[in-house]
Amino acid sequence: MKLAFSTLGVPGLPLSDVLRLATEHGYHGVELRAHPEEPVHPGLTPGERDAVAAEFKAAGVEVLGLAGYARVAAPGADEPVLAEVRALLDLARDLGAPYVRVFPGGDGRSPEEADATAARRLGTAAEYAAGLGVRVLLETHDSHRTGADVIRVLGPVGHRQAGALWDVMHTWLGGEQPSETYAALAPHLGYVQVKDIASADDTAPLPLGAGVLPLAECVEVLSRHGWDGWLCWEYEKRWYESAAPLPGLLRAGREHLARLLNDSA
């Protein structure tokens, strides 16, 4: 498996510094938080996009994906949501990123309404993504936090370019075992976000291995089934200012993931 980290852990850090951290600490890729607060977002000009792609290539680091904030199950008209997703997909194509992350965002709606809305929009987005060579991934999050929730959407979509992003915290909070999540998402799985927290009531980010999330079980399930994709450390420093800075944790985090992979081999 390849290892990456998300720029959510180093909010606003210049791209040159992000790439230096990746190369110094042995990460193969970076998940870019695609938000106007960050150096990389859909508002970049064609020239700026070319420069970003060239910087990644020169560093020998891959752009794993773009973490967008479109909410495909949210109420309202389809077109504003689809326009947001298309902009992310265009940026991913320009940067050579294989994945774009979207959220469900169906809280407050009935599951039937949220599922139908998300499936309709993802189906349309997947057709667009197919022409760009990018996959749009629905994260296990908010209204659809388990694999069982997400498969209710992806099953009806039935398109290769629409897949799943497994956030291990949200499936755990939803009461789902790693083996259950993998069984639900395996045909659709894009990549896996790993992290650690103290408890269900305290979700501030911790160093990998210092909390309660079943990281060893997740890696064991993935390895046992021969899955050979990406593990991406999403350290949510952006939302928890008092959390320890990520740069000082990156080496130990990579070593922890390497041990888990070795133990599950």
For the whole model, what pTM was predicted? Answer: 0.97
What are the tens digits of pLDDT across the range 164-194?
A: 999 999 999 999 999 999 999 999 999 999 9
What are the tens digits of pLDDT across the range 73-122?
A: 999 999 999 999 999 999 999 999 999 999 999 999 999 999 999 999 99
Q: Cα separation of 20 and 17, whole Å?
A: 5
Residue keyed to tokens 């993802």? 122
What are the tens digits of pLDDT across the range 130-158?
A: 999 999 999 999 999 999 999 999 999 99
Is the predicted pLDDT of residue 265 greater than 90, yes or no? no
What are the tens digits of pLDDT across the range 50-68?
A: 999 999 999 999 999 999 9
Residue 4 banded pLDDT, cuts 50, 70, 90? very high
- For 225, residues 6+ apart whose C-beta sits below 8 A from its C-beta are 182, 186
Is the predicted pLDDT of residue 264 greater than 90, yes or no? no
Q: Cα separation of 215 and 224, whole Å?
A: 14
Average pLDDT score over the chain:
97
Is the predicted pLDDT of residue 16 greater than 90, yes or no? yes
Answer yes or no: are the C-beta atoms of 249 and 20 closer than 8 Å. no
Give the domains, in start order, of the chain with CATH numbers.
2-264 (3.20.20.150)
Q: Cα separation of 9 and 245, whole Å?
A: 8
